[in-house]
Structure formats: C-alpha cells, structure tokens
Amino acid sequence: MTADAEGPVPADAERPVTADTEGPVPADAEGATATGPATVLVFSPHADDVVLSSFGALRPGGEAVTVFAGVPDDPALLAPWDERLGARTSREFALERLREDAAAYRGTGVALDAWAHLDGQYRPGPPDTGALRREMRQRIDRAGEVRLPAAIGDHPDHLAVRDTGLAACRELAAAGRPPRVRLYADYPYQLFAMSNRHRAHGTWSTYTWHNEDPLALTEWFAQHFPGGSQEHARPRRHTLSEDTVAAKERAVRCHRTQVPELDRATYGTLLDPANLGREYTWDLPAHLWEPVTAGSPPPGTPVRPGGRDA
C-alpha cells in the first residue's frame, strides 16, 4: 500500500480544501527524518474507525491503536448495539471484533495495538480518562505524527479519544516535546454532516450520500474550533489511488459484523469507491488543542448511548 503524499491545491481549483493524491511518500516529505518518514500513529476509537476514515495514513512502519477494544467479563451481557447486529453475547462479539481488527490491518505493515478500555456500551459510565491520557501520552511521545478522530457526530467514545489525546499533546508540549497533530474526519459520520448541510441549504431535495462536500466539514470545524482561522478550518482532502481504494474496501469488509448495518444506515453507499476514495484531515496547531464545547444540542436531538451507533 502506498501513502498519501501532500501537495498544493491545483491552480485552477478554487475550492475550500487542499487536494492531495495518495501516492509514494517523497524522501523530503514534511515530517520525514534523515532515515525516512516519521512514524505516523493513528488512534481508532473502535475497531473499524481508522480503516474507514484514515486508511491513507496506514503505511509500513506506522502504528495504530484501537482504544476501546476491551472484552467485557460478564458472559451474559448483551449490549443494545451488539444485539441489533445479531450477537448472542457481547463478550463473544467483542472477541470477534478483535479478530476482525487484526484481519483488517494484515498486510499493511502497520503495528496494531488493541487496548483493553471498554466500549461505551459495556461501561457503566465514562472511561478512565486519567489512565487513558497517560497511555496516550507515552505512545504519542514516540511518534512523529499523531492522528486523532475529529469526533464528527459527537460519539462519546470518539470525543473521549480526541479530547484525551489533545490533553496528552498539551502535556508533551509543556515538556518541550510537542507532536504534530492531525484530526481525521470520521467516516461515515461525515456523510451525515454533508447531507444535512445540503438539505438545510435546500440544494438537495433528499438525503444524498456523497463524500464530496468539504464545505460541510469546514463549517463543522469552525463551529467546534472557533479559535481557528479560515485556513485552519479548511480540510485537507486525500484522494486515494484506485489500488488503495481496493485495499481499503478489503480492509473494511473484514469488519463483517459492522458493515451491513453501516451500509444500511448510509443507504447502500458505505462502500461506494468514490466515497471510500476521499479522506479528509485537518492540521491542528497547538493553540487549538484545548477542547471546545460548541454548546447544547438543538431541542429534540437524541442523546446517544455509549457504544457504536450509526
């Protein structure tokens, strides 16, 4: 698999996004060292999040951490999301997800680490962010670049990984070792953001599931990180090569317990090659590492339970 190489916006493309084409990493790429590209460390809240959202960042020698990969002890527990997907017990299902995760990364050259923190649907309350912050700080300190979920959709587990990761980065910066930080747009949650924007503006008459509206992501970033400039808010688009899209689809399909329901929720467009082939990130400068609350959700917004939901 090749990696996403960064490049300038084409001169004739007036669009609020920096366009990158996935390809080999040049020897003088930003973040590279004298011995080669710096290690990219990607944090995945759940087993499928990175292969869905940031597959282009996976390159030989890189690292990925699935944070909420713990297996519940109670053999009789059956959490709502697992039950919806046809599980008999959550313990059995969690073990299967570990196997799916390992299969998805096979052949990428990326070292995968599955941490024992429990998915929100298995926890009685919020995660132990103190312990999580210490673990994340130790791992981030060894990396040249860290990627965290943007938490589009405000899923509690995604928010926990993003904000705890940023807290760890602030501690490293205070110690004189600031990392390079990127946020990746959470797929397929970004499809909902894009479709909702077009419906709100009256440009689509119904929900249309196309991963091609970076302006929706620009607006999302400006709302959640109001201290950033317009340039900060514009996402960087990574256009994956045809071969990489095919490899990404194979990796995503390894998560066979999740794909059918996620595809149903996106009206059969989850694995559309055009959707899979566009990934978005933001470079996050240190002054934006403080978590920002965007205010209360609009009246009638459903409260999400812990755990994965679409």
Distances (CA, A) of 277 to 20, 22, 42, 101, 270: 11, 9, 18, 20, 11
For 127-153, what is each residue's pLDDT tens digit?
A: 999 999 999 999 999 999 999 999 999
Band (pLDDT 50/70/90 cuts) for residue 11 is very low
Place 20 in a pLDDT band, splitting at 50, 70 and 90: low
Peptide linkage before 188 cis (omega within 30 of 0): yes
Q: What is the pLDDT of residues 211-264, one digit of tens each?
A: 998 999 999 999 999 999 999 999 999 999 999 999 999 999 999 999 999 999
User: Tokens at residue 222, please?
Assistant: 């400006």
Distance CA 148, CA 162 (A): 6
**What was the pLDDT predicted at 195?**
84
What average pLDDT does the structure give for the chain? 84
Indicate if the pLDDT at residue 293 is higher than 90: no
Find tokens 């697992």 and name the residue: 82
* pLDDT surpassing 80 at residue 9: no
Q: What is the pTM of this model?
A: 0.84
| pLDDT grade for 31, boundaries at 50, 70 and 90 | very low
The pLDDT > 70 percentage for the chain reads: 80
**Other C-beta atoms lying within 10 Å of the C-beta of residue 3:** 20
The residues that bridge with 183 in the sheet, in sequence order, are 148, 282
- Statement: residue 95 has pLDDT above 70: yes
For residue 166, give the nearest of 302, 284, 6 by alpha carbon.
284
| pLDDT at residue 12 greater than cutoff 50 | no
* Number of Cα atoms under 13 Å in the Cβ half of residue 265: 16
Decide if pLDDT at 187 tops 90.
yes
Does residue 78 surpass a pLDDT of 50?
Answer: yes
pLDDT at residue 203, rounded to an integer: 62
Judged by phi (left if over 0) then psi (alpha if -120 to 50, else beta), residue 115 lies in beta
**Is the pLDDT assigned to residue 209 strictly greater than 60?**
yes
What's the rounded mean pLDDT across residues 106-133?
96
Task: From 131, 109, 13, 26, select the one nearest 60 (Cα to Cα).
Answer: 109
